[in-house]
Amino acid sequence: MDETTSSRPSTSRKRQREEESLPETDIADECASLEDNLTFSDTLVALRMMRSQFPRIEKVSIQPFILRSQLYSSVKDRTQVDRELESLKRERIVRVFKLNTGQDDHAVMFLDDYQSQIERAIKRLEAKWHDEMTVFDWFKTHVIPSKLDPSIGHQELLSLFSLAGKVKEEHISLLINAGLLTRQLIDPNMYWFAIPNIGSVLKGLSQGRKQLLSFLNRKKYKEMMLALLEKKCLHLSLLDMRFHLRDLIGSGHLKTVQTPSGLVVRIAKD
């Protein structure tokens, strides 16, 4: 038997296994393709579109959020993104959060969605901490409107709370338990504002990034057509492929190349 011919089935099976290492999603795609919605004229348009495309996550109660890196992939001028994000923060349309991923990740959430997320966190603690729940009203009334930065100092937090009543250390602990604040490791007197209930989603974000990059690195040319890739499913992440593609393109780990057949997603060389 010809040696070349006999090796073909093995090669074919290997290629098939490689393709199937990321199965196609079985969820019907209700949105237009990513290729048709990759770039936008301004930041608010991009935010609204990506909010509408945020994946449905059945296991976790989380409102839609957008990564700053995703905005960088969608609006060509990064300076424009930063400038418009700052304006949207001042207008109290969105809030920006530093994420606990070990990287320079920031999430953007519409203020209405953030307030809904707070209400869900409050309901979860109501039965156990009924007598101390007023701290959440203080937080919503005096802290959120006044402090637009991603972080706040301990003394400033106490000062804002003092406008409403006598604050206790237990109140701060309750906000931390609710997932609204996290202590900074470098300075325990500083807190990051946080999105409640986001922990498992962030774990999947990190794992999904690794899985997608590993998948493309195993390709012969470290690339794949965007139209085919966005149909794949990342089983290590609660977030969908579209979410991860925008993120990794914006962070510079992936790049897109226009070809006669359509956009190709490729590993960005160092």
Total structural domains within the chain: 2
Beta bridge partners, 190, equal 153
User: Would you state the pLDDT for residue 67?
Assistant: 98
Cα separation, 80 vs 83, whole angstroms: 5
Cα separation, 79 vs 131, whole angstroms: 46
Q: Kindly state whether residues 236 and 259 are assigned to the same domain.
A: yes
Residue 3 included in any domain:
no
Q: Kindly state whether residues 84 and 213 are assigned to the same domain.
A: yes
DSSP E strand boundaries for the chain: 66-67, 94-98, 106-110, 151-153, 181-183, 190-193, 223-225, 254-259, 262-267
Residue 76 included in any domain:
yes
Question: Which pTM was predicted?
Answer: 0.86
What is the pLDDT averaged over residues 72-80? 94
CATH number at residue 122: 1.10.10
Structural domain that includes position 251: 31-91+199-267
pLDDT at residue 24 tops 70: no
Residue 22 included in any domain:
no
pLDDT at residue 234 tops 70: yes
Q: Kindly state whether residues 40 and 85 are assigned to the same domain.
A: yes
Residue 209 included in any domain:
yes
What is the pLDDT averaged over residues 96-106? 92
